[in-house]
Amino acid sequence: MALHLVQKIYVEDMGTSPEAERFRLLLEDQLSENGFVVVGKREQADAILSGATSVSRSGFYGGPADISVTARLVSSDGDRLWSTNMGGQTYSLNPFKSLKFTEPVEYRAQELAKKLRHAREQSAKTAGIKRH
């Protein structure tokens, strides 16, 4: 299966911490907002999104906490369709704009869903399919 054919996604646990569970729930919402259908059972899905999260507490100088995410999307047949690794502190040159992104778990969920949507659009473009 090609990435551009994926519509229905099952999101597996992304770890055992409370932050990981919260990330998974936020990610499901963000995937829905980015044009995917999130399903409640693996058997209903075109693909399964799995991964791991790691939360770092405030830095040595009291900087904000951050979350690193490693994720993989595999088809129902087990073929890897997409993967990403996101992490590290997020910086903004505009301090007023960065106030919107002070919550790293929500920000990473938004970022991952957008990256996956973009990858699906690129896959469609490569296949000569125009999505809207």
Check which CATH number belongs to the domain holding 43 and give it. Answer: 3.30.160.150
Query: What digits encode the pLDDT tens for the residues 107-131?
Result: 899 999 999 999 999 999 998 887 5
Q: Is residue 85 part of a domain?
A: yes
Within a domain: 131: no
Residue 84 lies in a domain: yes
| Res. 99: pLDDT tops 50 | no
Cα gap 34→101, rounded to integer Å: 18
Q: Is the pLDDT of residue 77 over 60?
A: yes
Domain count, the chain: 1
Domain assignment of residue 120, given as a range: 3-126
Report yes or no on 37 lying in a domain: yes
132 domain residue, yes or no: no
Residue 100 in this model has a pLDDT that exceeds 90:
no
Query: Alpha-carbon torsion 11, 2, 129, 46, what sign?
Result: negative
| Residue 14 forms part of a structural domain | yes
Q: Are 87 and 69 in contact (CB under 8 A)?
A: yes
